[in-house]
Chains A and B, each alone.
Chain A
Amino acid sequence: MDGPSFDPGGFYEFDLARGAVFARGGARVLVLSNDVVAPLIAVAAQNGDLTAVRRLGKQLGEQATASLGARPPEVTPELVLGHAAAVLGLFGWGKLGFEQWGSALVVSLDGLPELDDAHLAVSALLGGVLSAMGGREVACVPIGTTERFVVVDPSVAEEVWSWAKSGTEVSEIVARLAPESGP
């Protein structure tokens, strides 16, 4: 559990003279209402283009990595979770949690914003966060209307999502998965 703690102090810089808000690292951010963002996200989800949300997730993951001060794959999951949860919470995306179901990693996001019914926007966001922190592309598949997401390889995400859409619960989804057999 040793590691640098996340310091939320001074994360935002409000430059009233310029009328701008900057996050730690210098990225300019906009403070938007959930009611404003939700319809935009819904349209993007209907059009099947959530790359902007995934890009935002990667930016958040890079910020969490920067605050971590180490390569995330080399530190404990608890440390990665602490920094990632802090960054996501500061941006108002909810409370991040990790659950280990056998070999499967299930990500929870309590109090996530209701942007689209299938949670595809949050799925894209979390996929960006974990991809940036893990150093490889991952997919977060939403489990129905719950606030849980199964982290899988992108090549099997579509099939897992079909299970989830049919009402399969997370325990059964994990039971249907097995580690890939070696060559």
Chain B
Amino acid sequence: MSALDRIRKLEQLLAKVQRNKGAKPAVSSASSSAAAAPSREQPRPVVPSPSAAAASAPSTATPTSRTTPGMPVSSPSRSPAQVVPSPVREPAPQRPAAVIPSPSREPAAPPAPAHVVPSPAAVGMRRSSPPMMKDEPKVIVDMAALTEPAPDTKKPKATPLEMALEVELDKPATPTPAVAAPRAEDAELDHRVTGRMAPHEPSRAREPSPPATPRARTIEPAGVGQPSRDVARVIAPAETPPARTFGQLLAGTLSLRPR
């Protein structure tokens, strides 16, 4: 008779004695009763894997013991955790201490030293990026200075209109020589439109009264095979003589300045 059979027989006898007496045996401790319950049913889920059991099983542990339900319970001194110590699990908690941090994580942990000068690209993005570390040097560099090869630092292009016009805004508004020729005629036209200014009047720009609202005349296109008549619609009676040439018309409108 093997040891296993003896143990089974002892268990059967013990159970029989308990049934006859109607009382719990002296071995019915909390731990043993709880452990004994599954011995008649399913294998305990705490049973280690076959490999772990084979590695830690003492000499008495035969391959059949793995499939024997309640086998560890038969010995009260052997709890499942003690019976099957897993050599694989044991060093696991100490492993993180030996893990070498990856190089990618290492620079992210410490803050940047105060003496480190950021790259030009980082400086350029500074304006739109969130605030940096306090110790980091504040190097303020304009984005345009980094991106444009030859920036005009006198006055940046402030608005889309300015940039669309490609205008040198820092250039003072000087009188254009082209407007000198039609000066007398412009004054006359303006006089006809507004009714305020006499031709060649020297102090006409100092008139305090508000100007009258001018009215427009529409220029009809020419040189087109099918001139459209709706372009020639008259918005208002023409109060100024039409410009004889396009250059004259352009010079007149370019000579206008805010009053």
Binding site for B on A (CB under 8 A): 1, 3-8, 45-51, 53-54, 68, 72-83, 85-86, 95-106, 118, 120-121, 123-124, 127, 130, 133-139, 141, 150-161, 171-172, 174-183
Contact = CB atoms under 8 A, between A and B. Distances in A.
Given A97-B218, A102-B189, A102-B190, A156 B258 contact: yes
B159 A48 contact: yes
Contact of A102 (B171, B214, B219, B245): B214
Given A73-B245, A86-B224, A183 B164 contact: no
Contact of B255 (A72, A95, A103, A106): A103
Contacts of B254: 136, 138, 151-153
Contacts of B193: 101-103
| Residue among B176, B231, B239 with max Cβ neighbours from chain A (10 Å) | B231
B78 interface: no
B160 A178 contact: no
A153 B250 contact: no
B250 A74 contact: no
A158 B189 contact: no
Contacts of A54: 164-166
Interface in B133-179: 157, 159-167, 169, 171, 173, 175-176, 178-179
A130 B250 contact: yes
Contacts, number: 243
B255 A175 contact: no
Nearest to B176: A153
Contacts of B231: 85, 95, 97
B55 interface: no
A171 to B, nearest CB: 5
B116 interface: no
A102 B194 contact: yes
B208 interface: no
Interface string B193-233: 11000000000010000111111111111111101100100
Given A78-B222, A153-B256, A177-B259, A123 B247 contact: no
B235 interface: yes
A6 B224 contact: yes
B144 to A, nearest CB: 11
9 smallest beta-carbon distances between A and B, as pairs: A73-B247, A82-B223, A78-B222, A82-B221, A155-B173, A50-B164, A177-B256, A105-B253, A98-B219
Contacts of B252: 103-105, 179
B29 to A, nearest CB: 80
Given A5-B224, A152-B253, A175-B194, 10 more contacts: A45-B160, A47-B160, A82-B222, A103-B190, A124-B165, A134-B250, A138-B250, A150-B253, A176-B258, A181-B205
A85 B191 CA distance: 31
A50 B160 contact: yes
